[in-house]
Amino acid sequence: MRLLKPAWVTHDGKPIFSVDIHPDGSRFATGGQGDDSGKVVIWNFEPVRDEKAEKDENVPRVLCQMNNHLACVNCVRWSNNGKSLASGGDDKLIMIWQTSRAGVGPSFGSGTPTYEQWRPAATLRGHTGDVLDLAWSPNDSWLASCSIDNSIIVWNADNFPAQVVVIKGHDGLVKGVTWDPVGKYLASQSDDKSLRVWRTRDWKEEAKVTEPFNECGGTTHVLRCHWSPDGAYIVSAHAMNNSGPTAQIIEREGFKTSLDFVGHRKAITVVRFNPNIFSKKMKKGIEQSQQYTCCAIGSKDRSLSVWLTALKRPLVVTHDLFENTILDISWSKSGLELMACSSDGTVAYIEFNKDEIGDPMAQNDVELFLEKIYGKCMTKNKSSTNGTQIIESAALLKLQQQKREELQKRMTESDDKCNLSRMSDSLGSPFKPTDKQIETKTADGRRRITPIFLAPQLDVNVGEAPLPFKSQGINFTTTKASSKIVVEKQDIVTSKMVSPSSRSNMSSSNLSNQAFPSVGGEGTPKSSQALQAGEDVTPKSNQGAAPTTPGVEKMDASPTAENDPPSTPNKVINVSIQPMTALQSKPKVKHHSSEKKSSEKSEVKDKSIDKDKGPDVKDKLKTPSDKGEKEKSKDHKMSTGLKRKHHGEKKEERRGRPRKIDKERSLMSTPVTHVHHPPPLVVDGHYKAAEPELELHVPSTQKSFTKTVGGKDSSLSVEVENNISMGVHTLNKMRCVQEGLVLWEQVLNTPILTVAGSRNVVCAACEDGSLNMFSITGSRVLPSIVLDSRVSKLHIKAFLVMVITQRAFLYIWNVQQQSVVIRKESLKTIISGSDDLQKSMLTEEGMPIITVHNKKSYTFSKEMGTWMLLHNKGDALQQCSDHHSCAPPRDSTKIQGPLSSLQTSHERLGMQASRIFSAGQSLQQSSTLSHIESQLAACLLLKSAPEYKFWLQTYTRYLSQEGLESESRHIFESKLRDVCDDLLGPVYKTKGKSSWDPLILGMDKRSLLHEILPSIGSNLKLQRMFTEYHDQLESIEDR
């Protein structure tokens, strides 16, 4: 056995959460934390196993680095055929990587050279929480993923990103998944103290094992269980036996739990079986070889143990292998090599020989062995769950055929777009490839080469299995002709930072002396140093303090060992690691005694002023701006020594009565809601408390202002000028301007507070509480409207005018019909004394939407005569809703409407229901339905057709995909029928007048039924319902 830790396999000191060896043994992948992103690195395996290759500078170590994940990568897994690499992370995404031989280059943002090109062939979105573990099925037809959203998703690997099934039986975070090598079962382990086995035939639960996990707590990052290659056992992570940590052995026959692996001192995090079945003569005198399997176990106690199922004790145990928890283990396909990774950011490599571990059985013998015990493997059939269903309808068969054609068409279109974007030279790209490279010299004799644009090459051989590497390095060959680039040497002397082509247009002296200040050696600015060709631009944290002289000649340098970092030998286990001590001490700041005394004097002065004035006087003098300045001055005094050193002496503020303009500015910047308590009323000789009057913020009077009217893209604006002196009197003018041309002008007696307008109406709210309405041509529509108080909010859509007054009353008028829509409706019902109006808007349909500071949004229904709640940011149903995986495709989710405008993108995603929802699947499904139904009702109330259509599609998709897998299947099916019946309407005409309306929000109901039927037909368990409504629709259309 050989044990070592390659020190150069690292993620810059950050944790490595997963490791996996490629099936051909030429490379291995690691996943973990990068710089502000998740990191996946593909390494060359040859320098790990061979010391000579490690010291050879021509043998690469890092083959490729991918930083596409937005957060930490928790798991990486190669497919069994070696063509694809799956990675899952905290960004809730699963990426499928495939090789691309279009060309190689360094990873963006990294100085690490890249010797292979890998691209994300598919991005799988479906989980609403961190993805913790991945597992490919034995024949690569399925990919299973588990997440902290309590779910397991089985993806169709032949048709990414299609989902086969979403399993939601666990009540806690799912931290590990593994496939039965026969393909009959899928096992998962969760923080709900259970290991569950699922049938792949119908994805129902086959067994639930809980007893070994009753004493366990959720203390491990992962629970990576694994199935033995002979299919006889599952070995779990983190079980307990007599309060001691064990790895529980669960037998396939009856899923009994009578055996376990013991010896580790802390919780077990990962179990990984050797992929081979071994045979060896275990006892002397017995000629027959015994067949057994091999298992490696990693724990939080930093130790790794390797067990043979034919022995009662472990084959080998390594203590203190790492400085922190072991998170993942991987075996090579040969079964003689093992790698493990830890959260301390290192990996370990162990090599066995056949005398220690045994002779592996041939792959054909293993298949015959499994077929003899379990029959034919189900994994040979790549059909999903729907494959077990018999299609009974020709219409459903046609629907599935159409879906396949549409998918193929989309794939073809996407490929065409990719090819067209890559072939930029044939589409008239402004950046043409050139075959001439210009070389000039600077004033000090250094060469300067103008960069040349190289057109991107087509991506070829995408998705093929990567070729294995050889120890002698990589030899790149090409079938193309040699480069035709000609280097043109010019005798022109150019200044720094000036290209030869632009030299004639710029003054070199001005550019070097004025545009860029001289910093560093030879006047070269540090922020814009010219990089010489071949210069190493990789930032090095261990460089000395002395700055490198810019402009060193490196044109003739070749990428040899002089530019590469020195070779790091393999780290032996007993070598101690010294911690880093290069921490700089904080700079000391000296305080000047004179500044300290001046600050103390000003403090005493402030206190004396405050003592002379009473509390009432102080409160009256303080405006919001004054209070803010006082708080800032306090903060300034706490750090006066530091701040005054950099910013100079603080300017002394003037004390006394604040100016009038300061008061007006403070009122404009800080909206305040005032509540006046009127005196109590006397009723029948008894005092009765009167309701407090609510006052909203009102815009202050400005001398002049301009406001755009008519919408976002409108060029119309209204200019207002108040208090124009006309002798004894003062007038106030407003005029409508379009692109500098005055269209019309109006003069009013009272100063104008605010204006608003549409393409039909312009309104001006005045200081005396009046509202003036004008047409878009400038003529007055109505006499001045007298309101109960001044205007706080003014909105206009088309001919609809909405006003909220200072005393919290709502008005809406239709100017075209000269009628009232909502008459003086009080906002006291929804705004209490402690709250304030945060936002208001008027929809195109004339519905008012009021948002209060408590994050609740309301609308007023004139039909019901009451306020109704539309949205609550702290709504538990919205946060626990799990409908996101059933939402329509992304192209159709880009809807704009009043309801979506109330919700941010983070709120629309919810707060990942399953992460905080541990009460069970049934309650979660009920709350999801309640949330979707409330959204449908809100869309109907707001008369928002696009949003109603979106939520209707989500509702039917959820009922079709999720509800029928639960115990309350009849309830979900009944709801689905109610929706379809309402959209279908009466099939036959009746003598009486039907109350059924064929339209809903202007959309044809039967057309909507046509659109939602495919989502019902996607579940073959509902094919009879699909056929029923599909046939009825066709019969109606034929008549």
**Pairing between β-strand 729-738 and β-strand 359-360 as defined by DSSP bridges:** unpaired
pLDDT recorded at residue 486: 62
Distance CA 219, CA 212 (A): 16
pLDDT recorded at residue 367: 85
Please check whether residues 352 and 452 belong to one and the same domain: no
Whether residue 161 is preceded by a cis peptide bond, meaning omega within 30 degrees of 0, is yes
Q: How confident is the model at residue 269 (pLDDT cuts 50, 70, 90)?
A: very high
User: Which has the closest alpha carbon to 289: 228, 373, 354?
Assistant: 354
Alpha-carbon distances of 367 from 181, 278, 359, rounded to whole Å: 10, 14, 17
267 has a pLDDT exceeding 80: yes
The whole-number average pLDDT for the span 253-267 is: 91
Bridge partners of residue 16, in order along the sequence: 32
676 has a pLDDT exceeding 70: no
379: DSSP letter: G
Please check whether residues 848 and 889 belong to one and the same domain: no
What are the tens digits of pLDDT across the range 314-335?
Answer: 999 999 889 999 999 999 999 9
389 belongs to a structural domain: no
**Element holding 2 (H helix, E strand):** strand 2-4
User: Tokens representing 731?
Assistant: 């007038």
Structure-derived torsion over alpha carbons of residues 901, 905, 909, 911, reported in degrees to the nearest 10: -100
What are the tens digits of pLDDT across the range 822-854?
Answer: 999 999 999 877 778 889 999 999 999 999 988
562 belongs to a structural domain: no
What are the tens digits of pLDDT across the range 469-525?
Answer: 544 444 444 444 455 566 666 666 655 544 444 444 443 434 334 433 444 443 444
Q: Which residue has the tokens 């405050």?
A: 610
Please check whether residues 363 and 218 belong to one and the same domain: yes
What are the tens digits of pLDDT across the range 544-576?
Answer: 444 443 433 333 433 333 344 444 444 444 433
418: DSSP letter: H
Q: How many domains does the chain have?
A: 4
Q: What is the mean pLDDT of the chain?
A: 76
Task: Give backbone dihedrals phi and psi of 717, rounded to 5 degrees, phi first.
Answer: -145, 150
The whole-number average pLDDT for the span 643-671 is: 48
pLDDT recorded at residue 448: 74
Sheet holding 194-199, edge to edge: 174-179, 185-190, 194-199, 205-209
**Pairing between β-strand 741-748 and β-strand 304-308 as defined by DSSP bridges:** unpaired
What are the tens digits of pLDDT across the range 375-412?
Answer: 765 544 444 444 445 677 787 778 777 877 777 776 66
pLDDT recorded at residue 1035: 87
Q: Which residue has the tokens 């070994």?
A: 212
514 belongs to a structural domain: no
pLDDT recorded at residue 728: 85
Between 990 and 715, where is the model more confident? 715
Task: Give backbone dihedrals phi and psi of 956, rounded to 5 degrees, phi first.
Answer: -70, -35
Please check whether residues 863 and 896 belong to one and the same domain: no
| Side chain identity, residue 418 | C
437 has a pLDDT exceeding 70: no
Between 421 and 939, where is the model more confident? 939
The whole-number average pLDDT for the span 298-307 is: 94
pLDDT recorded at residue 188: 95
| Side chain identity, residue 671 | P
Please check whether residues 818 and 967 belong to one and the same domain: no
14: DSSP letter: B
Please check whether residues 701 and 803 belong to one and the same domain: yes
Task: Give backbone dihedrals phi and psi of 733, rounded to 5 degrees, phi first.
Answer: -120, 140
Distance CA 1001, CA 338 (A): 64
Q: Is residue 910 within 8 Å of 878, Cβ to Cβ?
A: yes
What are the tens digits of pLDDT across the range 8-32?
Answer: 999 988 999 999 999 999 999 999 9
529 belongs to a structural domain: no
Percentage of the chain exceeding pLDDT 70: 67
Q: Is residue 746 within 8 Å of 735, Cβ to Cβ?
A: yes
Query: How many CB atoms sit inside 10 A of residue 768's CB?
Result: 14
Between 394 and 760, where is the model more confident? 760
Q: Which domain holds residue 959?
A: 876-1038
Domain end position, chosen among 871, 906, 923: 871
User: Which has the closest alpha carbon to 756: 773, 777, 732?
Assistant: 773
Please check whether residues 812 and 943 belong to one and the same domain: no
Between 846 and 1039, where is the model more confident? 846
Question: Which of these ranges, 102-111, 267-276, 544-553, 744-753, has the smallest mean pLDDT?
Answer: 544-553
What are the tens digits of pLDDT across the range 117-141?
Answer: 899 999 999 999 999 999 999 989 9
Distance CA 115, CA 431 (A): 26
Distance CA 661, CA 1000 (A): 54
Bridge partners of residue 249, in order along the sequence: 235, 259
Distance CA 219, CA 245 (A): 12
638 belongs to a structural domain: no
Question: Which of these ranges, 276-280, 402-406, 457-461, 934-938, has the smallest mean pLDDT?
Answer: 457-461
Distance CA 227, CA 252 (A): 10
Residues in the chain: 1039
Q: Give pairs for 544-548: CB < 8 Å, separation 24+.
A: 547/520, 547/521
Distance CA 375, CA 180 (A): 14
What are the tens digits of pLDDT across the range 172-207?
Answer: 999 999 999 988 899 999 999 999 999 988 899 999
Bridge partners of residue 868, in order along the sequence: 859
Domain end position, chosen among 852, 871, 890: 871
Q: Is residue 143 within 8 Å of 157, Cβ to Cβ?
A: yes
**Using CB atoms within 10 A of its CB, is residue 279 exposed (0-12), middle (13-18) or buried (19+)?**
middle
**Pairing between β-strand 436-442 and β-strand 359-360 as defined by DSSP bridges:** unpaired
**Pairing between β-strand 486-494 and β-strand 436-442 as defined by DSSP bridges:** parallel
Please check whether residues 931 and 995 belong to one and the same domain: yes
**Element holding 644 (H helix, E strand):** helix 640-647
User: Which has the closest alpha carbon to 124: 86, 165, 93, 151?
Assistant: 93
799 has a pLDDT exceeding 70: yes
Please check whether residues 786 and 883 belong to one and the same domain: no
pLDDT recorded at residue 610: 47
Sheet holding 752-757, edge to edge: 752-757, 761-766, 770-775, 785-786
Q: How confident is the model at residue 679 (pLDDT cuts 50, 70, 90)?
A: low
Between 927 and 436, where is the model more confident? 927
The whole-number average pLDDT for the span 226-246 is: 92
Distance CA 133, CA 88 (A): 7
User: Tokens representing 435?
Assistant: 């075959």
pLDDT recorded at residue 106: 54
User: Which has the closest alpha carbon to 16: 343, 329, 242?
Assistant: 343
Please check whether residues 114 and 163 belong to one and the same domain: yes
Query: How many CB atoms sit inside 10 A of residue 922's CB?
Result: 11
User: Tokens representing 541?
Assistant: 């944290």
Helices (H), 850-920: 876-880, 898-902, 905-908, 913-916
User: Which has the closest alpha carbon to 185: 168, 163, 162, 208?
Assistant: 208
pLDDT recorded at residue 355: 87
What are the tens digits of pLDDT across the range 527-551?
Answer: 333 333 344 434 444 444 444 434 3
Question: What interhelical angle do 945-961 and 1005-1017 show, nearest 10?
Answer: 30
Q: CA Rg, the chain, in Å?
A: 37
Region of 195 please: left (phi>0), alpha (psi -120 to 50) or beta: beta
Q: Is residue 31 within 8 Å of 74, Cβ to Cβ?
A: yes
Q: Is residue 408 within 8 Å of 442, Cβ to Cβ?
A: no
Percentage of the chain exceeding pLDDT 90: 42
pTM (2 d.p.)? 0.50
270 has a pLDDT exceeding 90: yes
Q: How confident is the model at residue 720 (pLDDT cuts 50, 70, 90)?
A: very high
At 772 the three-state DSSP class reads: strand
Between 637 and 684, where is the model more confident? 684
Distance CA 502, CA 352 (A): 65
pLDDT recorded at residue 951: 92
Distance CA 121, CA 113 (A): 22
Please check whether residues 943 and 867 belong to one and the same domain: no
Distance CA 249, CA 261 (A): 7
The whole-number average pLDDT for the span 658-664 is: 51
User: Which has the closest alpha carbon to 1009: 1030, 986, 1025?
Assistant: 1030
251 belongs to a structural domain: yes
Question: Which of these ranges, 100-109, 633-642, 745-754, has the smallest mean pLDDT?
Answer: 633-642
Distance CA 367, CA 229 (A): 10
Domain end position, chosen among 378, 402, 426: 378
What are the tens digits of pLDDT across the range 83-109?
Answer: 999 999 999 999 999 987 655 555 554
pLDDT recorded at residue 993: 77
Please check whether residues 866 and 988 belong to one and the same domain: no
431 belongs to a structural domain: no
Q: What angle do CA 395, 397, 398 make, to 5 degrees?
A: 65
Distance CA 141, CA 80 (A): 10
602 belongs to a structural domain: no
Q: Assign residue 340 the CATH number of its domain.
A: 2.130.10.10
